[in-house]
Chains A and B, each alone.
Chain A
């Protein structure tokens, strides 16, 4: 008889847990994809500072991963996702997304091509039923491999130097490319990808080698002040980079309960990734119709006066009519500005005259602020070192 005990540990621990638990002096954990994820190891400002000025390590294991393999893998992904997977070179990565039949987003992901017929999807939410449904009619195998791969994100201007010190020469690695290195009894795959908008890498490894890899990076990175970071610091960095997160900036169509919640890639600023010429993909007709008729929403970056974060605030046109809402906001230490990502009704976008109503908590008392906002380009923060090849050494 099988003993069912899974409910006793509703949150799983990642392969790095012995190290992250030891470092998490505040025991600040949050759930992420069924795992315990550190929100903050002790000082969010120091963690953010490590991302922008030194080197940071973030436990990526809860990221949901699917392996797509088989003769039709590229054709399958072309039908599933918005960009052209067939033209993605082996050893390369791209950021893409996928939709339902109505052209509404289900998730975005990074897509890794490990071989001609071998891909890896890394995304925020779980999608096995949809991925399997999409596989009907294709010679392809779809498997969730979240637990089979341990992943660490190493981000920051010193990350290339740390890797070099750890014995991995990634100097020539271009953004969105990956390379394999021997490590211990196995190997580690390092991709020049990340979620901070900075120079950075992601390391993919057999879970059995997770702890030795962590130790190697921490030892090698000590001279550069490497430190583990939690989701709070990462969130700050990703807002500066203008990146969106599924279920924070939009609701996946399959999870939305309210009919007006799903958003299309055109509405979420992802229109650039749609390859209209690659052939059919799920949602193409709906998106084509939307492109012709115009979208109802737009995702924008906002610059807000003052220093109060506008998280959760409502946007108004001319201070009167509701025109949208903020999905992510922060005081940006890098920019010394209050910035936000917001969904705005497309019809309110051209004329400007947009305002944000912020409830600012000042010593137990909320104060209502009505501030004019400026729509600005994303990313808010985009340092040249992010793309420089060879990567900068410090």
Chain B
């Protein structure tokens, strides 16, 4: 039975779905957002994984939320407040930690690090505007004034820096670390931050561009007050106040296509909802293979959709701790990075290529409970860590690989925080497959398709759907799978809404 129709149906209540829906609603569209689970927020939610212990559902920090979305949705007005930016502590097993705040640090490489960060930040600054515009087109209509402004921006680097940018843009981050730094702790941090969430090692070609992208998103790791749940809640409230009608536990089973045009969706419970436009903020492969189907798409396009590379290499660890761990004096309110050197990061990636679990994973941990009460019972703590790398297709099978990676991660943590294992009352490790099952991210890749140079710009998620519109009239993409990618950011959703509104005008 068709029910009430709307202008736009947005599928997926993650950050990008909410951003897109809110922008469309604010522009006057009648928008209904459909979320499969019981809550909006996607990777930005929260979960009580042990009694009294609240952990981020997936992402545990934001790194450069799209400012247009933050302002446009009035997230501050809807309760989003951040703790002060987290410093990074590169945790040493001997207690010889290094604290890093952006370009500032100490030790023998302090000046080299500052110079490198200044140079890379300058590159990132001129590349950053690309994130907020639709990808340029190889042929056909481009927004030339915008692109010309971009080209001019890049020219302002000056001849020497431009040459340096062109030398470095497709280089691997390990070589950069070797060229510019001597301190293994900084090399490890650079290598780790560049490859966080990617299916790449520091020596993989083009790994530096991911670091530039990280810088382009904005500096500083931010933790919302009230945890990631507060971000999800603010996004949800802001969307609803913009006029979005949010429907949770509404699983979309099919996008209805009639005469080459998307005309609505069919929910898993049989309800049919008609609409003028359908926007999918879920994984592009799930969208085309799962919801649209082969019969409504060209064979070449359908095949290309199946070939979107979407391997997740990151696992998510949550520990309930009876007491505060001691990382040999490291500040528990900082972002704790255990990546002793670039080689160790690379060595942790090697086994994953063959479906195996690394013995010494590298990781980024935060303790939300160190920032504010309420995250864990009084005196207890919760530790949230991104553990790299995890095999997306483990040869030993999922549960054996999960157990092995948990053991390896606990081993690494114990080596850096003696006694930590004894404090663990509950441990929860999400492998890439678990992340896929829980969040619908194919392969467990949190960008909905690997963020890598060959899947960027007009190749993201694939040629033929890179400008938020798709070959199916009336069906648009707005998820992390589209330019410029994901990572609790909102740029893709915001851009998609812009492209859609422009096409309508």
Query: How far, in angstroms, from A79 to B301 measured CA to CA in the complex?
Result: 13
Within 8 A of B (CB), among A230-267: none
CB neighbours (8 Å) of B303 from chain A are 133, 136
Query: How far, in angstroms, from A282 to B300 measured CA to CA in the complex?
Result: 8
Partner of A101, one of B257, B294, B296, B301: B301
CB-based contact A133/B300 at 8 Å: yes
The chain A residue with its CB closest to the CB of B300 is A101
Q: Is A384 part of the binding interface, using a Cβ–Cβ cutoff of 8 Å?
A: no
Question: Provided the pairs A101-B301, A282-B300 are in contact, do residues A137 and B260 lie with their beta carbons within 8 angstroms?
Answer: no
Question: Provided the pairs A136-B306, A284-B260 are in contact, do residues A79 and B295 lie with their beta carbons within 8 angstroms?
Answer: yes
Number of interface residues of A (CB under 8 A): 17
The chain A residue with its CB closest to the CB of B293 is A137
Q: What sequence of 0s and 1s flags, for each residue 298-331 of chain B, a beta carbon within 8 Å of any chain A beta carbon? A: 1111110010000000000000000000000000
User: Smallest distance from the beta carbon of B473 to chain A beta carbons, Å?
Assistant: 8
Query: How far, in angstroms, from A137 to B285 measured CA to CA in the complex?
Result: 13
Q: Is A75 part of the binding interface, using a Cβ–Cβ cutoff of 8 Å?
A: yes
Q: Is B464 part of the binding interface, using a Cβ–Cβ cutoff of 8 Å?
A: yes
The chain A residue with its CB closest to the CB of B473 is A285
Question: Provided the pairs A101-B464, A285-B471 are in contact, do residues A137 and B300 lie with their beta carbons within 8 angstroms?
Answer: no
Query: How far, in angstroms, from A181 to B312 measured CA to CA in the complex?
Result: 59
CB-based contact B295/A101 at 8 Å: no
CB-based contact B294/A79 at 8 Å: yes
Query: How far, in angstroms, from A62 to B505 measured CA to CA in the complex?
Result: 55
CB neighbours (8 Å) of A130 from chain B are 299
CB-based contact B295/A279 at 8 Å: yes
Within 8 A of B (CB), among A267-323: 279-280, 282-285
Question: Provided the pairs A79-B294, A136-B294, A137-B289 are in contact, do residues A101 and B299 lie with their beta carbons within 8 angstroms?
Answer: yes
Query: How far, in angstroms, from A285 to B303 measured CA to CA in the complex?
Result: 17
Q: Is B297 part of the binding interface, using a Cβ–Cβ cutoff of 8 Å?
A: yes
Question: Provided the pairs A133-B303, A285-B471 are in contact, do residues A75 and B295 lie with their beta carbons within 8 angstroms?
Answer: yes
The chain A residue with its CB closest to the CB of B296 is A280
Query: How far, in angstroms, from A136 to B306 measured CA to CA in the complex?
Result: 9
CB neighbours (8 Å) of A100 from chain B are 298-300
Q: Is A134 part of the binding interface, using a Cβ–Cβ cutoff of 8 Å?
A: yes
The chain B residue with its CB closest to the CB of A99 is B298
CB-based contact A79/B299 at 8 Å: yes
CB neighbours (8 Å) of A137 from chain B are 289, 293-295, 302
User: Smallest distance from the beta carbon of B285 to chain A beta carbons, Å?
Assistant: 12
The chain A residue with its CB closest to the CB of B258 is A279
Q: Is A80 part of the binding interface, using a Cβ–Cβ cutoff of 8 Å?
A: yes
In this complex, which of A100, A101, A133, A284 has the most chain B Cβ atoms within 10 angstroms of its Cβ?
A101
The chain A residue with its CB closest to the CB of B294 is A137
Q: What sequence of 0s and 1s flags, for each residue 70-82 of chain A, a beta carbon within 8 Å of any chain B beta carbon? A: 0000010001100
Within 8 A of A (CB), among B245-281: 257, 260
User: Smallest distance from the beta carbon of A265 to chain B beta carbons, Å?
Assistant: 15
Question: Provided the pairs A101-B464, A136-B303 are in contact, do residues A283 and B298 lie with their beta carbons within 8 angstroms?
Answer: yes
CB neighbours (8 Å) of B306 from chain A are 136
CB neighbours (8 Å) of A101 from chain B are 298-301, 464
CB-based contact B299/A80 at 8 Å: yes
The chain B residue with its CB closest to the CB of A129 is B303
In this complex, which of A133, A134, A138, A280 has the most chain B Cβ atoms within 10 angstroms of its Cβ?
A280
Question: Provided the pairs A101-B464, A136-B306, A137-B289 are in contact, do residues A282 and B295 lie with their beta carbons within 8 angstroms?
Answer: no
CB-based contact B298/A138 at 8 Å: no
Question: Provided the pairs A136-B302, A136-B303, A136-B306 are in contact, do residues A285 and B295 lie with their beta carbons within 8 angstroms?
Answer: no
Question: In which size bucket is the chain B interface?
Answer: 10 to 19
CB-based contact B464/A280 at 8 Å: no
CB neighbours (8 Å) of B294 from chain A are 79, 136-138
CB-based contact A282/B296 at 8 Å: no
The chain B residue with its CB closest to the CB of A79 is B295
User: Smallest distance from the beta carbon of A202 to chain B beta carbons, Å?
Assistant: 28
In this complex, which of B297, B300, B301 has the most chain A Cβ atoms within 10 angstroms of its Cβ?
B300
CB neighbours (8 Å) of A133 from chain B are 299-300, 302-303
CB neighbours (8 Å) of B293 from chain A are 137
CB-based contact B300/A280 at 8 Å: no
Query: How far, in angstroms, from A75 to B296 measured CA to CA in the complex?
Result: 11
Question: Provided the pairs A101-B464, A136-B306 are in contact, do residues A282 and B289 lie with their beta carbons within 8 angstroms?
Answer: no
Within 8 A of A (CB), among B418-458: none
Query: How far, in angstroms, from A298 to B260 measured CA to CA in the complex?
Result: 27
Query: How far, in angstroms, from A170 to B299 measured CA to CA in the complex?
Result: 39
Query: How far, in angstroms, from A134 to B257 measured CA to CA in the complex?
Result: 19
In this complex, which of B294, B295, B298, B464 has the most chain A Cβ atoms within 10 angstroms of its Cβ?
B298
Within 8 A of A (CB), among B26-45: none
Within 8 A of A (CB), among B165-223: none
Query: How far, in angstroms, from A280 to B299 measured CA to CA in the complex?
Result: 11
CB neighbours (8 Å) of A80 from chain B are 299
CB neighbours (8 Å) of B301 from chain A are 101
User: Smallest distance from the beta carbon of A297 to chain B beta carbons, Å?
Assistant: 20
The chain B residue with its CB closest to the CB of A277 is B259
User: Smallest distance from the beta carbon of B299 to chain A beta carbons, Å?
Assistant: 4
The chain B residue with its CB closest to the CB of A137 is B294
User: Smallest distance from the beta carbon of A98 to chain B beta carbons, Å?
Assistant: 9
CB neighbours (8 Å) of B302 from chain A are 133, 136-137
Partner of A282, one of B257, B260, B299, B464: B299
Query: How far, in angstroms, from A282 to B302 measured CA to CA in the complex?
Result: 10
The chain B residue with its CB closest to the CB of A75 is B295
User: Smallest distance from the beta carbon of A252 to chain B beta carbons, Å?
Assistant: 14
Within 8 A of B (CB), among A120-151: 130, 133-134, 136-138
Query: How far, in angstroms, from A280 to B301 measured CA to CA in the complex?
Result: 13
CB-based contact B289/A280 at 8 Å: no
User: Smallest distance from the beta carbon of A59 to chain B beta carbons, Å?
Assistant: 32
Query: How far, in angstroms, from A101 to B303 measured CA to CA in the complex?
Result: 11
Query: How far, in angstroms, from A355 to B293 measured CA to CA in the complex?
Result: 50
User: Smallest distance from the beta carbon of A219 to chain B beta carbons, Å?
Assistant: 47
CB-based contact A285/B260 at 8 Å: yes
CB neighbours (8 Å) of A134 from chain B are 299
User: Smallest distance from the beta carbon of B37 to chain A beta carbons, Å?
Assistant: 27
Query: How far, in angstroms, from A101 to B302 measured CA to CA in the complex?
Result: 10
CB neighbours (8 Å) of B298 from chain A are 100-101, 282-285
User: Smallest distance from the beta carbon of B159 to chain A beta carbons, Å?
Assistant: 35
Q: What sequence of 0s and 1s flags, for each residue 471-491 of chain B, a beta carbon within 8 Å of any chain A beta carbon? A: 100000000000000000000
User: Smallest distance from the beta carbon of B292 to chain A beta carbons, Å?
Assistant: 10
CB neighbours (8 Å) of A284 from chain B are 260, 298
The chain A residue with its CB closest to the CB of B289 is A137
User: Smallest distance from the beta carbon of B466 to chain A beta carbons, Å?
Assistant: 14
11 new A-B pairs (CB below 8 Å) besides A133-B302, A136-B306? Answer: A79-B295, A101-B300, A101-B301, A101-B464, A133-B299, A136-B303, A137-B295, A138-B294, A282-B298, A284-B298, A285-B260
Report which A residues bind B (CB closer than 8 A). Answer: 75, 79-80, 100-101, 130, 133-134, 136-138, 279-280, 282-285
Q: List 26 A-B contacts (CB under 8 A).
A: A79-B299, A80-B299, A100-B298, A100-B299, A100-B300, A101-B299, A101-B464, A133-B302, A133-B303, A136-B294, A136-B299, A136-B306, A137-B289, A137-B293, A137-B295, A137-B302, A138-B294, A280-B257, A280-B295, A280-B297, A282-B298, A282-B300, A283-B298, A284-B298, A285-B298, A285-B471
Instruction: Enumerate the 9 nearest inter-chain pairs by beta-carbon distance, A residue then B residue, closest first.
Output: A137-B294, A101-B300, A134-B299, A101-B298, A282-B298, A133-B303, A282-B299, A280-B296, A79-B295
